[in-house]
Amino acid sequence: MTSDLHELPIEAALPGDPIRAAIRQSLSERGWPDMCVPQALGQFLTQLAMSASAALEIGTYAGYSAICIARGLPSGARLVTLESRPEHAQLAEHHIAAAGFGHCVEVVLGDAADTLLRLRREGQRFDLAFIDAHKPSYPRYLDLALELMRPGGFLVFDNAFGRNRVFDPSATSPTPVALRELHRKLFAEPRLVSTLLPMFDGVAVARVRP
């Protein structure tokens, strides 16, 4: 999920996305929170996916970010998206199929860490990984996802600022502590070239060195 920090000025410059609007309406009808990524971040994911032969997502929710990634994938490429809650996975599969991407997107239900370990055992590799899930698990997800990445691949973490709590030394709850650890790992890891983008609630982007 991305907060509404700085969202309105950026989003106002973009044409509307009917699929995002339909998914938000679907969430509203169910009484679920609107945790779709902003359209601008979705388009950023579409751009990154354009050179990917395989993409990975941790945290499917209602499927909008998966659709954004799928929009950019070349013909024959695929996306594996991981979701821990059955009701979210079911709704995401519906939205993804309705958007016309059921053929290239696989929604995998289960614990993300367990699935990432399985993907590694299977020898699967990815060119893009988008992580937007349980924030205290971000450092662990980085460790696991990095082992699945091809040289030149991108790792993207949403909500990297934790509603700015990451910059408050007095904030010691699990989320800001984990995000600080994520930042430390990203910039200390010699295999990565990393940056933090001040868009929305912060987006951490790391590229695997060739």
Q: Mind listing the pLDDT tens digit for each residue in 28-82?
A: 999 999 999 999 999 999 999 999 999 999 999 999 999 999 999 999 999 999 9
137, part of any domain: yes
Residue 2 lies in a domain: no
Does residue 193 lie within any of the structural domains?
yes
Indicate if the alpha-carbon torsion angle 194, 195, 197, 201 is positive or negative: positive
Q: Is residue 1 in some structural domain?
A: no
Decide if pLDDT at 11 tops 80. no
pLDDT digits (tens, 9 = 90+) for 138-169: 999 999 999 999 999 999 999 999 999 999 99
**Considering its fold, how many domains does the chain have in total?**
1
Per the domain annotation, does 93 fall within a domain? yes
Question: pLDDT class for 15, splitting at 50, 70, 90?
Answer: confident
Question: What was the pLDDT predicted at 157?
Answer: 99
Give the pLDDT confidence of 102-149 residue by residue, as tens digits: 999 999 999 999 999 999 999 999 999 999 999 999 999 999 999 999
Burial of 33 from C-beta contacts in 10 A (0-12 / 13-18 / 19+): exposed
Residue 77 included in any domain: yes
Question: Is 58 part of a structural domain of the chain?
Answer: yes
> Residue 14: pLDDT band by 50, 70, 90 thresholds?
confident
Q: What is the CATH number of the domain that holds 26?
A: 3.40.50.150
Q: Is 138 within the bounds of a domain? A: yes
State the pTM of this model: 0.92
Burial of 136 (0-12, 13-18, 19+ CB in 10 A): middle
- CA dihedral sign, ordered 58, 59, 62, 64: negative
Phi-psi region of 200 (alpha: psi -120 to 50; beta: other; left: phi over 0): left
Q: Which domain, by its residues, includes 145?
A: 7-208
